Amino acid sequence: MHEWALAESILVAAVEAAEKEKLKIISEIKISIGELQQIEQDIFEFALEEIIKTQGDKLKNVKTVIETEKSTLKCKNCEHTWDFSDMKKKLNEDESEAIHFIPEVAFVHARCPKCGSPDFEIMTGRGVSITSIKGER
Amino acid sequence: MHEWALAESILVAAVEAAEKEKLKIISEIKISIGELQQIEQDIFEFALEEIIKTQGDKLKNVKTVIETEKSTLKCKNCEHTWDFSDMKKKLNEDESEAIHFIPEVAFVHARCPKCGSPDFEIMTGRGVSITSIKGER
Amino acid sequence: MDARVSVIDKRLKNIKRIISVASGKGGVGKSLVASSLALNLAKKGFKVGLLDLDLYGPSSHIILGVKDVFPKEEKGIIPPNVHGINFMSIVYFTEDKPSPFRGIDISNIIIELLAITQWGLLDFLIIDMPPGMGDETLDVIRFIKKSEFLVVSTPSKVALGAVSKLLKILKELKIPIIGVLENMSMTRSSFIKNEIDSMDLPYLGCISFDNALEESIGKPNKLLESDFMKDLDDLLEGINL
Amino acid sequence: MDARVSVIDKRLKNIKRIISVASGKGGVGKSLVASSLALNLAKKGFKVGLLDLDLYGPSSHIILGVKDVFPKEEKGIIPPNVHGINFMSIVYFTEDKPSPFRGIDISNIIIELLAITQWGLLDFLIIDMPPGMGDETLDVIRFIKKSEFLVVSTPSKVALGAVSKLLKILKELKIPIIGVLENMSMTRSSFIKNEIDSMDLPYLGCISFDNALEESIGKPNKLLESDFMKDLDDLLEGINL
Ligand SMILES: Nc1ncnc2c1ncn2[C@@H]1O[C@H](COP(=O)(O)OP(=O)(O)O)[C@@H](O)[C@H]1O
Ligand SMILES: Nc1ncnc2c1ncn2[C@@H]1O[C@H](COP(=O)(O)OP(=O)(O)O)[C@@H](O)[C@H]1O
Ligand SMILES: [Mg+2]
Ligand SMILES: [Mg+2]
Ligand SMILES: [Mg+2]
Ligand SMILES: [Mg+2]
Ligand code: NI
Ligand code: NI
Ligand SMILES: [Zn+2]
Ligand SMILES: [Zn+2]
């Protein structure tokens, strides 16, 4: 249920952006969630709905579209690339849950599958962001 | 004349890349130099030529093409963007020379011209890189 | 657009004062001061949070002897209360394993922690800062606009080298500096005081080197009774804390 | 493709041994040990370089009292020789102003420094490392494959928390660890020795807390005569240095 906090961040950011763009009504928000966040989409959508109810008119009829950004990890030592599903095989439940809260602890709990280095890069697949907003002025 | 060291790095990197690509002869190297490096192009070209003379056949007839990558600086605090020519106006000679050696000391000697923050990003215009290599197998 | 950043202000809204205990220099006692300050204020009846932002070498959990607790997940994560302090640290998620993070990761961790931690109502949030002037410091300045800085130094010229750099940049950016606390003093010397005076910043006083301090590490009740705490407490009176 | 990276091996080719003095923890004496080690080896007749990679809080120039020198530009930059040491530091370029660098900048600075510094023939290059386990440490591991690590701790549990993390990762990556040096010891205790033994790593011995050390800061000739140097020298004998 920390999904709630991230859902709220989306709505706060959307309202902020709408104000900048002078939108009176927000009709659609496209959301991208990094795969490493391992968000439970049901819970996240439920949270969005619940929070929207408590908000003003701007968000009343908003449609939310959620996409998962696939993860790409790249080793700085050997240039090998892989993704979270490869990584997950070697993680126990606690480690995986820790990455759910703080994706960057991947560097603590995982290694490059090819050379064993912890010095890899999360090229894609972390964070929670808004990719587009539609609305009316 | 620390240009010499950077010129050498280009040729070492080119030979390395050529070996990976199994090129017997390198005919052209395209080089991009970040504006912040403030390279003296004459000296740099002279250094390239001198070093090429000491190298083997792989580089004998190589043509080098040098481009300057324009700088873009962007403030993390206020999102203002600017470039090195804007920045340079406020630098004294010593500061500018220090940036010539280590471009990142821009964060030490310069600030966002709009909000005064030192927390800006060098989006483009640093480093020395090879953008392409042509040759024969 | 990173959405997490937008919610940070809301998460910190119900916190009256945020004090970052920083230095620029390592090993001067930032973590001891931050943990002890949190304990001290909690004992005085304030609602206190403590956030350990030294992600490479988190220490507050060692000093406070925190073990076997984990944040509750509820509309975010709720820091466990240890010895009257709402305590948040990366160790909950690292099992205290090595943390080879690069700067961009540090920045992302801080954003995530600030976006999902539900502090609730607090009188004080104390932040235990790492040494240096890198992503952690720049991100506290960027995201926690209301943070004040409490700066720790030792009496040494080597420490002052790094400390004065932090002070200069904070001053330049007009960030509130509560003052400079001199820690681990062994002989009477006005070297640090004079330097801080000459920078026109408040010198808060000094904490003596406490030979018995190591015995209090991991034992908050002992720490509350230590000479270190006595010195700190006197010094806090001077700034109405 | 960043070309600078490719020339680093060539720049370091004529250096016999590279020793990174590191800790994970701040304020344990890394800079004192690194500078003193460089002085000690230079006095023994070795050709020695010293590279200060603590870019936020560079200290070696303070300890060695380096002033008014600047690298010569000649096919790169040539570190000035101070007290028999070829000394390279970011301070030549920062005028000792605050250095608010993010991780990516740190990484770029290290690449630039390694690519343009002409060390020439050296018996030893000593690297004064910053605390933490961030871009500097990861880049030394990435770019200076032949570096060995000399790790410094104090007797404290708090220090050991960070130190053991660094040791674990170095060990995991099979990077040569010369051993662990215990600094600032005040009472006889085998706490650190036992911990290092249990990690199956060499414990090198300890350097006592030197009450008079501060007077030698900035004065290499005095530092060479200090109790600190005497302890260090004894300990170096044990590892044939
Ligand atoms: N006043 C003091 N007297 C004795 N030891 C101290 C004192 N202050 C700090 N220490 C010790 O110094 C070391 C560094 O303190 P720490 O709080 O970890 O510093 P930092 O967070 O700045 O790195 C620790 O071992 C701590 O126990
Ligand atoms: N053996 C020692 N006795 C007394 N003071 C010491 C000793 N070793 C280091 N110091 C002092 O401790 C402080 C931290 O040392 P420093 O070398 O700057 O640590 P680091 O580089 O690990 O941050 C400095 O003020 C230094 O003079
Ligand atoms: Mg600390
Ligand atoms: Mg009192
Ligand atoms: Mg140091
Ligand atoms: Mg001897
Ligand atoms: Ni969750
Ligand atoms: Ni030059
Ligand atoms: Zn790899
Ligand atoms: Zn700005």
Contact A90, A110 (CB under 8 A): yes
Q: Tell me: the pLDDT tens digits for D64-99? A: 999 999 999 999 999 999 999 999 999 999 999 999
Q: Are residues B113 and B54 in the same domain?
A: no
A68 forms beta bridges with A33
Nearest CA in chain C to D186: C211
pLDDT over 80 (residue D22): yes
Q: Are residues B131 and B66 in the same domain?
A: yes
Low-confidence ranges of chain A (pLDDT < 50): none
The whole-angstrom distance between residue A77's C-alpha and the CA centroid of its chain comes to 27
Q: What values do phi and psi take at C21, rounded to 5?
A: -90, 110
CA dist C134 and C103 (Å) reads 8
For the domain made up of C3-236, give the CATH fold.
Rossmann fold (3.40.50)
Please name the residue whose Cα sits nearest to atom 14 of ligand 2: D27
CA dist A73 and A110 (Å) reads 11
Report whether residue C162 contacts ligand 1, using a CB cutoff of 6 Å. no
How near does any CA of chain C get to the CA of B63, in Å? 38
pLDDT number for residue D102: 98
Q: Tell me: the pLDDT tens digits for B19-32? A: 999 999 999 999 99
Contact B25, B61 (CB under 8 A): yes
pLDDT number for residue B24: 94
Q: Are residues A98 and A52 in the same domain?
A: no
Q: Which of residues 31-90 of A touch C (CB under 8 A)?
A: 31
CATH number at residue B41: 3.30.2320.50
Which amino acid appears at position C198 of this protein? S
Neighbours of chain C (3+ CB pairs under 8 A): A, B, D
Q: Tell me: the pLDDT tens digits for A88-125? A: 999 999 999 999 999 999 999 999 999 999 999 999 99
- Mean pLDDT along residues B100-119: 98
pLDDT number for residue B56: 85
Helix (H, G, I), strand (E, B) or coil at A49: helix
CA distances from C129 to B88, C51, D97, D106, D207 (A): 34, 9, 21, 19, 28
Q: Tell me: the pLDDT tens digits for C7-49? A: 999 999 999 999 999 999 999 999 999 999 999 999 999 999 9
Q: Where does residue B128 rank: exposed (0-12), middle (13-18), buried (19+ CB within 10 A)?
A: buried
C21 forms beta bridges with C128, C150
The whole-angstrom distance between residue C41's C-alpha and the CA centroid of its chain comes to 13
CA dist C39 and C31 (Å) reads 12
How near does any CA of chain B get to the CA of C136, in Å? 12
B104 in contact with chain C, both atoms CB, cutoff 8 A: no
Q: Identify the band that residue D161 occupies on the pLDDT scale cut at 50, 70 and 90.
A: very high
Q: Tell me: the pLDDT tens digits for C133-158? A: 999 999 999 999 999 999 999 999 99
Q: What share of chain C in percent tops pLDDT 90?
A: 99
What's the structural domain count of chain A?
2
CA dist D88 and D106 (Å) reads 16
Q: Which atom of ligand 1 is nearest to the CA of D158?
A: 25
Contact D81, D122 (CB under 8 A): no
Residue matched to tokens 């909000």: B115
Q: Are residues B64 and B14 in the same domain?
A: yes
Q: Are residues A17 and A31 in the same domain?
A: yes
pTM summary value: 0.98
Q: Are residues A6 and A66 in the same domain?
A: yes
pLDDT over 80 (residue B105): yes
pLDDT number for residue A56: 85
Contact D166, D22 (CB under 8 A): yes
How near does any CA of chain C get to the CA of B77, in Å? 7
In the structure encoding, which two tokens stand for residue A20, read together? 């900048």
Domain ranges across chain C: 3-236
pLDDT number for residue C22: 98
C142 and B77 within 8 Å at the Cβ level: the answer is yes
Q: Identify the band that residue B11 occupies on the pLDDT scale cut at 50, 70 and 90.
A: very high
pLDDT over 80 (residue D217): yes
Q: Tell me: the pLDDT tens digits for D107-143? A: 999 999 999 999 999 999 999 999 999 999 999 999 9
Q: What values do phi and psi take at C219, rounded to 5?
A: -130, 85
CA dist C172 and C158 (Å) reads 22
C126 forms beta bridges with C19, C50
Residue A86's domain comprises: 72-124
In the structure encoding, which two tokens stand for residue B110, read together? 């310069």
Q: What share of chain D in percent tops pLDDT 90?
A: 99
pLDDT over 80 (residue D144): yes
Q: Are residues B20 and B62 in the same domain?
A: yes
Burial C52-85 (b: 16+ CB within 10 A, else e): bbbbbbbbbbbbbbbeeeebebebbbbbbebbbb
The mean pLDDT of chain A is: 96
Q: Count CB-CB contacts under 10 A for residue B47.
A: 23
Nearest CA in chain C to D216: C157
Residue matched to tokens 């200060």: D52
Q: Are residues B28 and B41 in the same domain?
A: yes
Chain C residues within 8 A of D135 when measuring between CB atoms: 102-103
Contact A130, A92 (CB under 8 A): no
Residue spans of alpha helices (H) in chain B: 3-20, 41-54, 84-88, 93-101, 106-109
pLDDT number for residue B66: 97
The mean pLDDT of chain B is: 96
Which amino acid appears at position C119 of this protein? W
Q: Tell me: the pLDDT tens digits for C166-211? A: 999 999 999 999 999 999 999 989 999 999 999 999 999 999 999 9
Q: Are residues B20 and B38 in the same domain?
A: yes
Chain D residues within 8 A of C97 when measuring between CB atoms: 165, 168
Burial D183-207 (b: 16+ CB within 10 A, else e): bbbeeeeeebbebbeeeebbbbbbb
CA dist B28 and B14 (Å) reads 10
Q: Which atom of ligand 1 is nearest to the CA of C63?
A: 27
Q: Are residues A129 and A65 in the same domain?
A: yes
Q: Tell me: the pLDDT tens digits for D30-50? A: 999 999 999 999 999 999 999
Q: Are residues B56 and B15 in the same domain?
A: yes
Contact D149, D24 (CB under 8 A): no
CA distances from D153 to C62, C182, C216, D24 (A): 16, 22, 19, 9
C132 and D130 within 8 Å at the Cβ level: the answer is yes
State the best of C111, C135, C141 to mutate against chain B, taking most chain B CBs within 10 Å: C141
- Please, what's the largest Cα pairwise distance for chain B? 54
Q: What values do phi and psi take at C129, rounded to 5?
A: -90, 155
Q: Count CB-CB contacts under 10 A for residue D3.
A: 26
pLDDT number for residue C164: 98
- Mean pLDDT along residues D196-210: 98
CA dist C48 and C88 (Å) reads 11
Q: Are residues A48 and A79 in the same domain?
A: no
